Each structure stands twice: as structure tokens, then as C-alpha cells.
Structure 1
Amino acid sequence: MGETRIGISGWRYPPWRGVFYPPGLPQHRELEYASRKFSTIEINGTFYSLQRPESFERWYQDTPPNFVFSIKGARYITHIRRLRDVEGPLANFFASGIFNLREKIGPILWQFPPSFRYDAGRMKGFFEILPRDTKQALSLARRREKRMTGRARLAIDANRVLRHAIEIRHESFVDESFVQLLREHNIALVVADTAGKWPYREDITADFLYLRLHGDKEIYASGYSPEALTRWSDRIHAWRIGSQPDDAHLISTQPPPQRHSRDVYCYFDNDVKVKAPFDAQDLIAKL
């Protein structure tokens, strides 16, 4: 059976204090606390701006052994440059300190804006320059821009596999060729529950699954009922034994490559009303 990790998207939310986090817990200990409840957490700060090596080192030290971070790719690459001429920004991203997470580096999430339409050539070019292990990432990071001088980490402790996942938000991606492109590059299509706001598809395109549960009734806000969590636990079980749900919502008519198991990463992002951490704990209990 594949490894399954259930967690939360981010960890620093003021409304969580005194509700999920114990009253009086210092802010600088929130990651330490959350990482003892979940085996994985998404780093969201990397989406908004380049972080610093000392931040990644601190996050590494604050979390227990066998913990894994997923890392959200920079919006400068996906939203501002929209994949045009991104080798320099991509080098900066990997030079910013990610290597300080060492064995706790998990999948890298690339989320595209709702206005970003599927462009096969642009996506293919992006996939071809994405590093597939930390050795390739280090080679890319060494081509960082000059502004990274003094704030880069350009060393790895070991060569480790890097996984990538793509979250789509435009209907034009509902295209058979997109699924085939993902499979050619072993990149996961994010299964994103967005209360019907953006496309929801469950095509298996890699040797792992990446789920983002934003809320099934109201995006970022609504919690998941026990029945809804049971449904998710059944789907995760099918995926981690190498199968897929009988009622899977698919783009492609072609079956995925057969596997005996797949790893599954699942993150709750319905954080506005402090639902995410409790829903994640309930799903862990069901699994």
C-alpha cells in the first residue's frame, strides 16, 4: 500500500489561535505544534515571495523526523511570468533555501490562475526544465540571478527525487493531450475540491496523488461532514492500492499506467473558519 500523508495548507492563521492551537502558545511554536498533529504541511509563503535559507533551516529544525513539507511554487513564475522566460526565476526559487529541508522535501505544487488557459507548447517547455531530483535542482540553482547573492543555499546533502504537481483553474485544461503530457513527465494533476468553482478531475498522471480540499460547499470556509470524509477516505484507499474509484471524474479515456500502489498527499485548505485542522484529523482517524 502506498504511503498516505494528510495535512494542512499553511499553519500561521490568527483565527486558529486558542481554537486549534492551545491558548498562550507562542506564534513561533505553531509549526512545532502542528507538525506533531500531521505528517505533512504545505509551505504557502514560497508562493508569495522568495524565502530565505535560514527560514527553511528553522522549519526543518521545528519539525519531527519523518515529517514532509510540500512546497508551493512561486506565483511570479505561474501568475506573473505565466511560464514565459522562467529559467532565471526558477533558478532563484531553488536557490532560495529549499535544500535546507533535506529529507523533508516533498512534492512541489504549481498552481495556475483561473485566467491561465492551456497552452500545450508552453506547458511542455515548463515541464522539460523542471528538475526531477535535487542534483538537477542544484545545477539549475547555480544559475540564479545576481540579486540572490548572500541569500542562497547552493549545496545538497544527498540526491533526492523531486515530485511536481499541477493545480488547474481553467476549463481549457480538460483536454486529453494535457493528461498525456502530465503522464509523459510523471507530474500529478491535483485533485482540487473547490465547491464547483474550478475544474474537478481525478485523472491519475503520476506515481503519486496530490489532493487539495478547499471546501465542498463554500470554498476556503465550509467544513466536511462525516459522510464527505468517508467518501474521501474510500477514494484515497483506492488510489493508494494502485486503483481508482469506480466513479472517478476523468478527462482521459485512456487508463493510467498500472501500479501496485501510489503515495497520496492530501491537504485541507478550508482554513477561514478553522475547519482545516479538525477535518484533517478526522480524515486521519477514518484512514
Structure 2
Amino acid sequence: MTRSTTSRVRVGIGGWVFEPWRGSFYPPGLAQSRELQYASRRLTSIEINGTYYGTQKPASFARWRDETPEDFVFALKGPRFATNRRVLAEAGPSIEKFLASGIVELKGKLGPINWQLPPTKTFDPDDFDAFLALLPSEYEGHALRHAVEVRHESFATPEFIDLLRRYGVAAVIADKAGTPQLHDVTAPFVYVRLQSAQESLELGYAPAELDAWAARARAWAAGKEPDGARRLAAPLPRPPKQRDVFIYMINGFKPKAPAAAMALMERLS
């Protein structure tokens, strides 16, 4: 499997510890302690889920950094203690605790942070504005990139897109039924979470679907917007000449996630 992909496009999975991957994605007999090392040499990024559920240790971030190739990048899920609350404007202490937990030990492998809101959270423009203002653009000399994953249809409004653009925060693009389909580009990078893999398909996704996501990734990476993008607002007046793109095979039928990710990488190589 070649690691080269279209410039600035990274493809991966959510986490790396998952028992059904043993013997299918991971070779039989591979020690669990070597699973990250193995996965990181077949994918170009991984979204760490453990940061959503609890505070990690600086030594863990340093170990993950050292076990992965030089050009590997981790995305992190922001802690639920910051996003699963009635008033997002009050998330400051939780955000600061997360940033101080050692994430900068990843150094150059620190990728975007995904702040996932619960499906019941509705769009309150003032409160959401205050939350975005709490997300710093750098921490201890390390540049930070932020994305928000909203899952309530009330966010499907141009006002939401305008807020994200003001702060340079990305809206997570998802393909899961029942979630807002937000394809507006609002940041210098694009963050995609694909969650519709099917058990009945060899690669989780049909070849034509993987072809379509590869075409979208190429367009985003070239500073363009894909054909047929579902926009809520006008396109950016001065788009960049290139963007970083992060695509993660997350859910649906999770055992197929590595196969889907590698098939997408092949199409981008």
C-alpha cells in the first residue's frame, strides 16, 4: 500500500483499538501494543476518540507521536465536558484543561481538533459565537485548527456558516442520514467524517461512492469546491490555492473502516 496521496489529503479511521480489526485489518498474532505502529503505516491520519471521554496524559501523546511516521497526523476529539452542556459559553475551563493535558506533545503531528456537539444541541447564535471565541488559534507556540461537528438541523443556516468563517473554524462534513449536510468551506482546511459503511459491501462503500469522495477531496485540496456541493452561503470570494483535507472512516459498519480508508487512499494515490 502506497502512502502517497493527492497533495494535502489525509485519510484515516477513528481510533486504532477495535477487536474486530484483529485478524482482518491487523495480522493474526500482532501484539496490541503494536497496533498503532501498524495502522499508522497504512493510513495517513487517525482521529483519537479517547480525548472525548477523558483526560489523557502527556506521556501518552508523546508515545503516540514516537510510534508513528514523521508525516503522520492525529486529529483529536475535544472533550465532551466542553460540548455536552446547556451553555457553551461556560466551556472555558474544560477547554483550557484539555489544551493543558499534553496535546502539544504531539508536536508537528497535532492535527485538527473536532468539537462534537450532541444531537439535541440546537443553534443559539449568541452562545455559539461565545463558544467559538473560546477556541484559541495557538497554544504554547503550536498552531491550533478547530472543527465543529453539529448534529441538529437548526444549524443548517447561513448565519452558522458566517460565524464559522469569522473564526476560521471548519464545519465537519458528514454523510450520516439525519445530520445536517453542510458542505460550505469555512476554514483553511476541510474535515470529513464518513459514517455510512455497510456490512454487505466489500469495502464498506460502493466503488462509485469512493470515487465521488476522492473527486471531492481533490477539489477541496486544490482550493476549489466539488461539483454539486450543498452550500448554505455563497462560496468564499478569494479561496486559497490549496487546502489540507482530513477524511475519516468512522462508523456505520465499523469493521469495514480500514478497508474503506485504504480504498480511498488508492484512489487518491
TM-score, structure 1 length as denominator? 0.86
Letter of the structure 2 residue corresponding to residue 38 of structure 1: L
Partner of 2:167: 185
1:117-132 matches, cutoff 5 A: 117-132=122-137
Deviation at 1:273, TM superposition (A): 4.5
Counterpart among 257, 260, 268 of residue 279 in structure 1:
260
1:196-216 deviations in Å (ceiling 9; x for gaps): 121112001011100000116
Give the drift of 1:2.
5.1
Matching residue within 240, 243, 247 for 1:262: 243
Matches within 5 A, 1:1-287: 3-80=8-85, 82-135=87-140, 159-194=141-176, 196-215=177-196, 223-252=204-233, 254-256=234-236, 257-270=238-251, 272-287=253-268
Give yes or no for contact 2:62–2:106 (8 Å, CA) kept in 1: yes
Contact persistence 1:202–1:249 (CA under 8 A) = yes
Q: Which structure 1 residue ranges, 5 or more long, are not aligned? A: 136-158
How much does 1:28 deviate?
A: 1.2
Shift of 1:62: 1.1
- Work out the CA distance in 2 between the residues paired with 1:209 and 1:192: 11
Q: What is aligned with 1:155? A: none
Number of aligned residue pairs: 259
SS state of the match for residue 275, structure 1?
Answer: helix
Alignment deviations for residues 37-67 of structure 1 (CA, whole Å, 9 cap, x no partner):
1111001000011111111111111111111
Structure 2 CA distance for partners of 1:216 and 1:272, relative to 1, 3 Å: closer
Q: Give the 3-state SS of the residue equivalent to 1:274 in structure 2.
A: helix
CA distance in structure 2 between the aligned counterparts of 1:245 and 1:126, rounded to whole angstroms: 29
CA contact (8 A) 2:197 2:257 kept: no
- Code of the aligned partner of 2:165: R
Deviation at 1:36, TM superposition (A): 0.5
Identity of aligned residues (%): 45
Which residue identity is paired with 1:232? W
Are the equivalent residues in 2 in contact too, given 1:170–1:198 (CA < 8 A)? yes
Query: Is the contact between residue 193 and residue 216 of structure 1 (CA under 8 Å) also seen in structure 2?
Result: no
- 1:182-228 superposed Cα distances (whole Å, 9 cap, x missing partner): 0011111111111x12111200101110000011668xxx9111110
C-alpha change, 1:247 and 1:238, in structure 2 (3 Å) is same
1: CA distance between counterparts of 2:112 and 2:150? 16
For the 8 Å contact 1:223–1:270, the answer to whether it is kept is no
Structure 1 residue 95 displacement after superposition: 1.2
Output the CA distance in 2 between the equivalents of 1:130 and 1:266: 22
2:12–2:248 contact (8 Å) kept in structure 1: yes
Conserved? CA contact 2:198–2:252, under 8 Å: no
Q: Secondary structure at the match of 2:230?
A: coil
Contact 2:190 2:243 survives alignment (8 Å):
yes
State the superposition RMSD in angstroms.
1.6
In the superposition, relative to structure 1, how do residues 76 and 45 fare at CA in structure 2: closer, same or farther (>3 Å)?
same
Q: Could you give the per-residue CA deviations for residues 203-258 of structure 1, whole angstroms, max 9, x where no partner exists?
A: 0101110000011668xxx9111110001011111111111122111121x22242
Q: What is the aligned partner in structure 1 of residue 3 from structure 2?
A: none
DSSP 3-state at the match of 2:88: coil
